[in-house]
Amino acid sequence: MGKPLDPQHVAIIMDGNGRWAERRGLPRGFGHRAGVEALRRIARHSAALGIRYLTVYAFSTENWKRPRGEVNLLIGLLREYFQKTIAELHEMRVRVRVLGEMAPFPSDVRRLAESARELTGLNDGLRLQIALNYGGRAEILRAAQNLAGQALRGAIDPAEIDEDCLARHLDTAGLPDPEVIIRTSGESRLSNFLLWQAAYAEFVVVEECWPDFDEKSLENALAEYRRRERRFGAVRRKK
Ligand code: IPE
Ligand code: IPE
Ligand code: MG
């Protein structure tokens, strides 16, 4: 309790690509492309700062509502990201995996995500989670269905399902909860990101759009986190 140390787990809602492009009179796709560059930069800098876990929200369960052209462009960028960036991440000893349900993505993209996980699975550096077709509600629902199935088969006793047990059935099984969630582009909402895991995360909103979020922006956001006092429901300790 009290003043936070450096966070182990940083989560980022990478928002504002579209507005970044629109403000420059460019199609939204340019913003998404610049957003991929920002992610490369921030993954590199997170590793350099010694952050253990970085989780980024790249595509939500709700983002399928966007125009087909934009969805296809995002899928294309994702394919390109896996093809071009995995070697670089592997070299930095980053361990990559996806959170969310990959089934609706094209099979080659699913294979790329899977081979990225396999290639980097033994790396001991930064652990990078990319949330794709991810929604906090869908994730909790999948865990509930899984546990209900186990209970029905008699494999577990419903009375023994506690918070740790539920957490082990989420996509983030094995990861500590994020201490801080950063959202870019000035929006202050979770948009269905890490609903369970965010229970006591510090929420840091930054005004910059995601493509403008750079090394300095990350350091400023971490400094903001360090100024917070985390009480976890208890009362402040007397000095
Ligand atoms: C974030 O930027 C990227 C995704 C959600 C895929 P947006 O595309 O949401 O950009 P804005 O919020 O419309 O500016
Ligand atoms: C949240 O951003 C999802 C991602 C960053 C991937 P959105 O732009 O989709 O969220 P809303 O619609 O503004 O809440
Ligand atoms: Mg947005």
Is the pLDDT at 239 greater than 70, yes or no? no
Residue carrying the six token digits 């997170």: 46
Of all residues in the chain, the percent with pLDDT exceeding 70 is: 98
What per-residue confidence (pLDDT) applies to 232?
93
- Altogether, the residues listed in the chain come to a count of 239
Residue carrying the six token digits 């396999």: 118
Average pLDDT over residues 31-50: 97
Average pLDDT over residues 130-150: 98
User: In the structure, what pLDDT confidence band is assigned to residue 25 with cuts at 50, 70 and 90?
Assistant: very high
Q: How far is the CA of 170 from the centre of ligand 2 (A)?
A: 21
Please state, rounded to an integer, the average pLDDT across all residues of the chain. 97
Residue carrying the six token digits 């740790």: 164
Q: How far apart are CA 230 and CA 239, in angstroms?
A: 15
List CB contacts of 191: < 8 A, sequence separation 6 or more. 13, 15, 57, 60, 62
Q: Which residues are catalytic?
A: 15, 63
Q: How far is the CA of 12 from the centre of ligand 2 (A)?
A: 11
Which of 182, 189, 190, 191 has most ligand 2 atoms within 8 Å of its beta carbon, as the pocket-test mutant?
191
Query: Of the ligands numbered here, which is closest to the C-alpha atom of 55?
Result: 2
Q: How far apart are CA 118 and CA 113, in angstroms?
A: 9
Q: How far apart are CA 177 and CA 11, in angstroms?
A: 9
User: In the structure, what pLDDT confidence band is assigned to residue 1 with cuts at 50, 70 and 90?
Assistant: low
**By alpha-carbon position, which residue is closest to atom 12 of ligand 1?**
16
Please report the atom of ligand 1 found closest to the CA of residue 59.
6
When comparing pLDDT for 239 and 62, which is higher?
62
Q: Does 9-227 carry CATH code 3.40.1180.10?
A: yes
3-class secondary-structure state, position 56: strand
Q: How far apart are CA 195 and CA 207, in angstroms?
A: 22
Helix H, strand E, coil C: the string for 123-144 is: CCCCEEEEEEEECHHHHHHHHH
Enter the DSSP assignment of 103: T
Ligand 1: residues with CB < 6 A are 14-19, 59, 63, 74, 185
**E-only strand ranges, the chain:** 9-13, 53-60, 95-99, 127-134, 180-183, 202-205
Is the pLDDT at 4 greater than 90, yes or no? no
Domain range summary for the chain, segments of one domain joined by +? 9-227
What per-residue confidence (pLDDT) applies to 236?
81
Q: pLDDT tens, 69-124?
A: 999 999 999 999 999 999 999 999 999 999 999 999 999 999 999 999 999 999 99
